[in-house]
Homo-oligomer: A and B are copies of this chain.
Amino acid sequence: MAYFSRKKIDALQHLYKINLINSCSGFKSANLIGTKSKAGEENVAVFSSVTHIGSSPPLLGFFCRPTTVMRHTYENIKETGIYTLNSIHLDNFEDAHHTSAKYKKSISEFDVTNLASEYKKDCFSPFVKDSPIQLEMQFVTEYPIKENDTILVIGEIKGLYINDDLLEDDGFINLSKANITTINGLDGYTIPKLKKRLAYQRPKIFKQ
């Protein structure tokens, strides 16, 4: 096996290092976050760090670095409290990835890609049309991560839309059925196929 000590990691060339460290923890969720400023400017940006925090209440978190291109998303969330999460799938992953380009706030990623915004019920922020799963999120709180000046943003689910054919009888959403992507590293888009669902695990019984 190749071995990288911490000393070797710290000394790596920048691009090599971010590729390596971004892919070593496994596959990542792939979501587009849709927001709108109070002034009405729409924004949509790709995030690979959306993580389940709890189901009761239904809480999801993501990490952002306010000093990067993602700041429009963060600014809009802080300004309005409302954002959307939209799954990325085989048909739109190239447009989704393009939202990582650094556009000025006055330019909407919806205007420079084939992604289309969609408004539903009274949600202030735009959803991404045709995403198989769309969530309306309400900002709850943030935790500044002192160790590297990132922020853990936590929101609760206000509403959840799912393509009917993905939803199984016990609430399981079959992500593979919709060709939803998962991200490898910074730039690798992969399509998983469901291998198996496993039962709830109880301890094995041994002869004493």
> Which residues in window 61-104 of A have CB below 8 A to B?
61, 63, 65, 85, 87-88, 90, 93-94, 97-103
For residue A6, which residues in chain B have a CB less than 8 angstroms away from its CB?
Answer: 58, 156-159
Asked whether A192 lies within 8 Å of B190 as measured between CB atoms, the reply is: yes
Q: Quick one: given A3-B161, A161-B3, are A21 and B203 in contact (CB under 8 Å)?
A: no
Q: Which of A59, A141, A143, A157 has the most CB of B within 10 A?
A: A157
> Which residues in window 167-208 of A have CB below 8 A to B?
167-168, 170-176, 180-182, 184-185, 187-204, 206
Chain B residue at smallest Cβ distance from A112? B204
Other A-B pairs, 16, CB within 8 Å; known A22-B55, A24-B162, A182-B192: A1-B164, A2-B161, A2-B167, A3-B159, A6-B58, A25-B135, A27-B29, A27-B30, A52-B63, A57-B147, A102-B203, A107-B203, A112-B203, A143-B145, A182-B182, A189-B196
For residue A48, which residues in chain B have a CB less than 8 angstroms away from its CB?
Answer: 52
- A114 in the interface (beta carbon within 8 A): no
Q: Which residues of A contact B (CB under 8 A)?
A: 1-6, 9-10, 12, 15-31, 48-61, 63, 65, 85, 87-88, 90, 93-94, 97-103, 107, 112, 133-135, 140-141, 143, 145-148, 150, 152, 154, 156-164, 167-168, 170-176, 180-182, 184-185, 187-204, 206
The 6 A-B pairs at the shortest CB distance, nearest first, are namely A26-B29, A19-B171, A190-B192, A16-B171, A27-B182, A101-B201
Asked whether A55 lies within 8 Å of B164 as measured between CB atoms, the reply is: no
